Amino acid sequence: MLFSSISFAYYFLPLVFAVYFAMPRKFRNLVLLVFSLFFYFYGEPKYVFLLLLSSAIDFTVSLVINKHRGTKAAKRALLCSVLMNLSILIFFKYSDFFIANINALFGVNIPLLHIPLPLGVSFYTFQTMSYAIDVYRNDAQVQKNPLDFATYVSLFPQLVAGPIVRYQTVADQMTERKHSLEGFAEGAARFVMGLGKKVLIANALGELNKTALTTGNQSVLMYWLAITAFMLQIYFDFSGYSDMALGLGKIFGFTFLENFNYPFIARSITDFWRRWHISMGTWFREYIYIPLGGNRVPRWKWIRNIAVVWFCTGFWHGAAWNFIVWGLYFGVLLTLEKLFILQWLEKIPRICRHIYCLLVVTVSFVIFHLETLPGIWGFLKGMFGFGGVPLVNAESAYYLNSYKIILLAAVIGATPLLKRLVMAARANVRLERVIHVLNPVYTGGLLLVVSAYLVDSSFNPFLYFRF
């Protein structure tokens, strides 16, 4: 069930609200658990047992760790958690990748398993595993109530596409959280804003990207339209989903950490990755990079640590070589930035730093988007005018003109310009009152427009379900 669907917004969600707020506080986690499991079952009925299995493993393992803290039994329990969760992830996500590469390498013909990828498996296995690690480190208190822990793992706002919520972030909120009309209104506005980003901008950009990729009449402009549309589609798709998750969390009394912070205004790749998919970057830093020694090791080990983290980051995104290349591409660039590029960037104008970052990020999305290395190379050559590709043709000019408004809206929306204008207006007492009155009108109007688009359109993909 997509957040950006009529069935979710007008059937599932109102029913959850009605039951949740009608129940006494002590039953509200149970309500969330039941509806979250139904939400997952609706989209992935075959694999709901995996979600429960992952929850049961780490709930039990953490009790053992807590009971035998400081002993070999605790270490063995932690190892069990890591191995079991990684086994689930590897089997369901990477089996065919390994089989296909073994077949190619050794000339054998092992049949592919064709296992469907369970929704959210990359997120909830990391989430439950990090809980067990935090309990072992004594960074989180062990949860002794299995229903509360299962609620944390399966919580539908963040279940299938994050953000990756560490248990210690919401531990207190699992039992004591505040609900208010103001919090509900704030959460609802954030949800509708995310819904608008997804439906009105990301979906339109997805159509442009699909058209630009499949046309047989290519030009340099068409290549740039395709990758710009994809890059912005990914951002508005995923940041919109994160907005919806944070908004729903707010409605139910949870405060999740922000997952995006205007990454396209970054002035270096290091800065970009502090702003993009923050929860994922934090996870890899806390549970792989720092345990390997971080940057407090000899230089060669530090470079190794970055390579390991970015290999894992790329592979986490998908079972294909382009994702591995994509991860290592960023690993090399981040290493070079820390060695000397950041010092060089400080000496050049700010606009040049932005151009450098955007160019590097754009190339990365080509690698991310296209599955084959020849396809990536061919696309990059086309982008920069090699191979006799014309700069502009009638078709690319037509699509640029047709999508110019949505592209402009996407570019402006990817910056904090509108947010700063609203904050400046709120500094004025009179304007603050006007905004306070108009905000629910704007939210309601946006919801109606989005609903009309959802009813009328059949194109409503969510890209991160692939990962």
| From 68, 179, 277, 317, active-site residue | 317
Task: Identify which of 125, 128, 123, 194 has the alpha carbon closest to the alpha carbon of residue 164.
Answer: 123
Report the greatest alpha carbon distance in the chain: 74
283/164 Cα distance (integer angstroms): 8
**CB 227: neighbour CB atoms within 10 A?**
24
For 369-430, strand residue ranges (E) read none
Token pair of 80, please? 């069990």
404/83 Cα distance (integer angstroms): 49
437/272 Cα distance (integer angstroms): 36
219/393 Cα distance (integer angstroms): 6
- What is the SS3 assignment for 59? helix
- Taken as a whole, the chain contains a residue count of 467
| Pair 122, 158: CB distance under 8 Å | no
145/198 Cα distance (integer angstroms): 36
Token pair of 202, please? 């990301």
- Residue 430: φ, ψ to 5°: -65, -45
| Pair 357, 271: CB distance under 8 Å | yes
Token pair of 302, please? 């530090």
| Pair 144, 68: CB distance under 8 Å | no
The angle subtended at Cα 395 by Cα 393 and Cα 398, nearest 5°, is 110
| Pair 245, 195: CB distance under 8 Å | no
Q: Which residue's structure tokens are 């339109």?
A: 204
Residue 436 known to be catalytic: no
Q: Which residue's structure tokens are 């039951």?
A: 19
Query: Left (φ > 0), alpha (ψ -120 to 50) or beta: where does 320 sit?
Result: beta
353/150 Cα distance (integer angstroms): 45
Active site residues: 317
